[in-house]
Amino acid sequence: MLLRAVLLLSLTLSVAACGDNRLNPFNWFGNDREQRVRVDPDAAAGTPSDPRSLVSEITQLSVEQTTSGAILRATGVTPVQGYFDAELVLAEINNGAIVFEFRAAPPVGQPTPGLQTIVAGVDLTNGELAGIRSITVIGANNRRSVSRR
């Protein structure tokens, strides 16, 4: 019995040590992939109901599993400092894919020159993730995606 427990523990730790292994139970969603895009400037600028603009570029995307679902976290870059009220806004759910737009409000008054890194996240429940195979976050100049293995 003790030998069986030691073998099971060894096997679990061996699989967990393999970072990109499909057998790894801790590897829920894979590494993010970038795709360069150019979004229509009118769409990037926002709408009357949500005047926030798309973040210039998404630099990192991660999904962290929780007991009730997952936390989707995106990091982006803005062209000047002072952006605020960052949020991942649901854009669409279609055929096992969920798409978010990374939006933030531009600075009020005179912006400070220099790039700004901004982070936003959203809590997704197990019910919301049921049947979802990929998650994409869109910025003005690129998009990043993660997929289930």
Do the beta carbons of residue 58 and residue 88 sit within 8 Å? no
Tell me the whole-structure pTM to 2 decimals. Answer: 0.73
Domain of 100, in residue numbers:
31-147
Residues in the chain: 149
Is the domain of 80 the same as that of 110? Answer: yes
User: Between the CA of residue 95 and those of 18, 45, 57, 100, 134, what are the distances in Å?
Assistant: 30, 27, 25, 15, 10
Mean pLDDT of all residues in 42-60: 80
So what's the pLDDT on residue 111?
Answer: 84
Percentage of residues of the chain with pLDDT beyond 70: 67
The answer to whether residue 84 scores a pLDDT higher than 70 is yes
Residue showing tokens 């289930």: 148
Q: How many domains does the chain have?
A: 2
Is the domain of 14 the same as that of 76? Answer: no
Is the domain of 139 the same as that of 123? Answer: yes
Is the domain of 1 the same as that of 61? Answer: no
The tokens describing 65, both together, are 């599993």
In tens, the pLDDT along 64-81 reads 999 999 999 999 999 999
Is the domain of 55 the same as that of 1? Answer: no
